[in-house]
Amino acid sequence: MSSPYHKEEQPITERVDDLMLRDDDPESSNDDNNRTASSVRDIASRIPESLSAIGRDISRTIEKAISAKDDYVVAVKVTPESQEKLEALVQAGVFRSRAEAAGFLIEEGIKTQSALFERVRQKLSEIERLRAELRGLIGDRAV
């Protein structure tokens, strides 16, 4: 008899996992067991391949991180308008971060201004030549 204070206990049934093969189950046929075992073996045979793919992914990630050491971090001030444009590139999914977008735009700006940078390189060579000439004058007097 059941009352609010004494509830009738329900029999506890064992939870059967789909992957468990039960020998005492009269409903399962040998064919079902063979198919299940075959599926399990198939899944198990793919484990080394999956682990290998994971290993390759980890290796690529490490190589990328190691090669990133050649990148430099530069703090720059930008106008609010520039900040909005960088953020728009990130929001559009073109770049993962504002830093990545800014780096791309800097590279493109350098390419576009290649004539300016060539002229700067020439002037720096000239400055270095003049410095060497001055050092030579001072070196001659010291002797």
The pLDDT value given to residue 134 = 93
Per-residue pLDDT reduced to its tens digit, 25-45: 555 567 777 787 788 888 888
Q: What are the sequence ranges of the domains in the chain? A: 15-70
Q: How many helices (H) and strands (E) does the chain have?
A: 4, 0
Residues 45-61 have pLDDT tens digits of 888 888 888 888 887 77
Rounded to two decimals, what is the model's pTM?
0.45
pLDDT digit string, tens, across residues 85-105: 999 999 999 998 999 899 999
Query: Which band of pLDDT confidence, cut at 50, 70 and 90, is reported for residue 141?
Result: confident
Q: How far apart are CA 56 and CA 72, in angstroms?
A: 27
37 contacts 44 by C-beta, under 8 angstroms: no
